[in-house]
Amino acid sequence: MEIHVYTPELQRIGQIDSSTSLLWNRKYFEPGTFELHVPNTSENIKMLNHQNIISKSGSKEAGVVESISMDENTMTVSGRFLSSYMDRRLIKGTVNYNGTVENAMRSLLSSATSIPLVELGKANGFAQTVSFQATYKNLLMYEEKLALCSNIGFRFLPDFQNKKIIFQTYSGIDHTVHQSTNGRVIFSEDYGNVSDPKYDYSDTNLRTLAIIGGEGEGQSRAYVTIGSGSGLGLRELFVDAKDIQKGDLSDADYKNLLIQRGNEKLAENRTSESFESSVMADINFHYRQDYDLGDLVTIKKTKWNMSIDKRITGITEVWEHEIMYVQPTFGDPLPDKIDWSDD
């Protein structure tokens, strides 16, 4: 593994010749993170400066040095991947949007104060749609929300040769056993490619029906109800959406915004199921060749009578003295709380 260091302008500074360890944590719905441990040499201290960029061989992503700590022998630097630059920008004014999620992600970035070197990559034409209203909100927060509601990933890819950073949306490939178009990928102890498995399931936060309250007071307040359920299967939720203002919107468009908010809140409050494990990167299936971040795969655990299909929403590459193993997280993060309010 080679680790290269660049200035914020993507000018190459040098290469790290030795490292103790590296955690390269790739994420599908948000910027990845990294933590690098290197000898505390004068050369490393000079190169690994605040806001410099590191990349590693075999990876499309790159990270920004945000934190530095040192003791007598070791230097530790950590940070987030380049898409975290969007955390430095706001959505300007009030945006009322109704269209595809991919176009929303692209237009929010292009209409914000420009980020140096960042350009829009090629659109993929993803069909998922969304309606929302946002006023002076953090750009990265909304990009993450749009990714979560649509299962579309995003990233900033550095082009060191041409000195630019490309914003890319992407979608994982279906490798589950329930399809025959792509190569099937199964993680199972029977295949010898998982260890230390951990499974979590909870329906504590599940809600099946949402009453959404829009602008107005008392009898004049706008309400919309979505969802269903009866008996013990009915789990109700009230959604305060006063932050969504009707303005010049038609009644139908305003109702669609309220419905969208309700759908997102129901998505937040659904059954949660995830599976974590350490994986041998090159046993039966090869990391980055047969499966990668964002892909859908099948996980089987015979002892637990389990066979589930899950998206790979995170992959941590753990490098210790030039030896790598990977720790994937399988599971749809939609049950996690997504705050769509304008608070």
Euclidean distance between CA atoms 54 and 23, whole angstroms:
13
Q: Measured between alpha carbons, how far is 325 from 211 in angstroms, rounded to an integer? A: 46
- Beta-bridge mates of residue 238: 211
The pLDDT, as a whole number, for residue 301 is 85
Kindly state the helix (H) or strand (E) to which residue 252 belongs, with its residue range.
helix 251-268
DSSP-assigned beta bridge partners for residue 213: 223, 240
Q: Indicate the domain borders of the chain.
A: 3-81, 86-170, 186-202+272-313, 209-268
pLDDT in tens, 20-73: 799 999 999 999 999 999 999 999 999 999 999 999 988 999 999 999 999 999
Under the banding of pLDDT at 50, 70 and 90, the label for residue 18 is confident
CB-based contact 313:28 (threshold 8 Å): yes
Q: Identify the CA nearest to 184 among candidates 275, 286, 281, 298.
A: 298
pTM (2 d.p.) = 0.85
pLDDT of residue 219: 87
Alpha-carbon distance of 225 to 227, in angstroms, equals: 7
Q: Which residue has the higher pLDDT, 279 or 207?
A: 207
Q: What is the CATH number of domain 86-170?
A: 3.55.50.10
In this structure, the chain runs to a length of 343
